[in-house]
Amino acid sequence: MNNPLNSPNYGPLYQALDYQFDDKVLFEQALTHRSAYKDHNERLEFLGDAVLGLCIAEMLYEKFPLQPEGKLTRMRSNLVKGDTLASIARELDLGSLIRLGSGEMKSGGHRRDSILADAVEALLGAIYLEAGLEATKQSIAKLFNSRIEKLDPNLQIKDNKTQLQEYLQSRQLPLPEYEVINISGKDHAQTFEVCCKVESMSLSQSATGKSRRIAEQKAAKSILETIHK
């Protein structure tokens, strides 16, 4: 098990977050994957996900006062999706700071998008618990302002399910089918496994996520990647 919290330099991370933790135990928990210790970051991730969604919604509401709900929703989805959070995590070099069990270390867990994205949400959840909403909004603004400035509300940001549906419709093929094949974990931290089937193309891909929606999007993305190979 790696333990980078023994002697790291947290200065760059604190500067990027515009926040420095007083509660080191809480900070360490935010950077601890469930493969490493029982006091891991899943509950903090759950909280951080909710706070992030709220703060990004407010920032977009204020930034784009004339835009309708649909466009605001698409922009928010683009900002809080796993790919974006994983990209932010890499900018913060979180992979070198996350505590992982030996199995996850060997399998490259410090590079995995889902683990990196979850760590970003967990850090935001920890800031919220320690310092409240305003401090968390300040950190979120520091992380996301440059991305928000680049947003074009008129750009149609289509998610993976929509892209897959439109691809099939353009070829007059039946729509994909999504099926939940497994739900694991406790009520507050469930993991959904979903299978996406495109029978007309003999394609089937499964994916997991912390919600059915996320798992469906990831499965659709896998199908699209297979189609476009």
CA distance 121 to 119: 5
Nearest one of 120, 96, 147 to 47, comparing CA atoms: 120
Residue 207 pairs with which residues in a beta bridge?
A: 194
Q: Is 49 a catalytic residue?
A: yes
Catalytic residue among 28, 49, 118, 216: 49
pTM given for the model: 0.72
CA distances from 75 to 49, 114, 159 (A): 16, 20, 11
pLDDT value at residue 156? 63
Low-confidence stretches of the chain (pLDDT beneath 50): 5-7
CA distance 104 to 21: 26
Q: Tell me: the pLDDT tens digits for 33-86?
A: 988 888 899 999 999 999 999 999 999 999 999 999 988 988 998 899 888 999
Token pair for 176? 């994909």
pLDDT value at residue 8? 60
pLDDT value at residue 137? 97
Token pair for 128? 């919220």
| Secondary-structure breakdown of the chain: helix, strand, coil percentages, each rounded to the nearest 5 | 60, 10, 30
pLDDT value at residue 7? 45
Catalytic residue among 28, 42, 104, 121: 121
pLDDT value at residue 73? 86
pLDDT value at residue 228? 84
pLDDT value at residue 34? 86
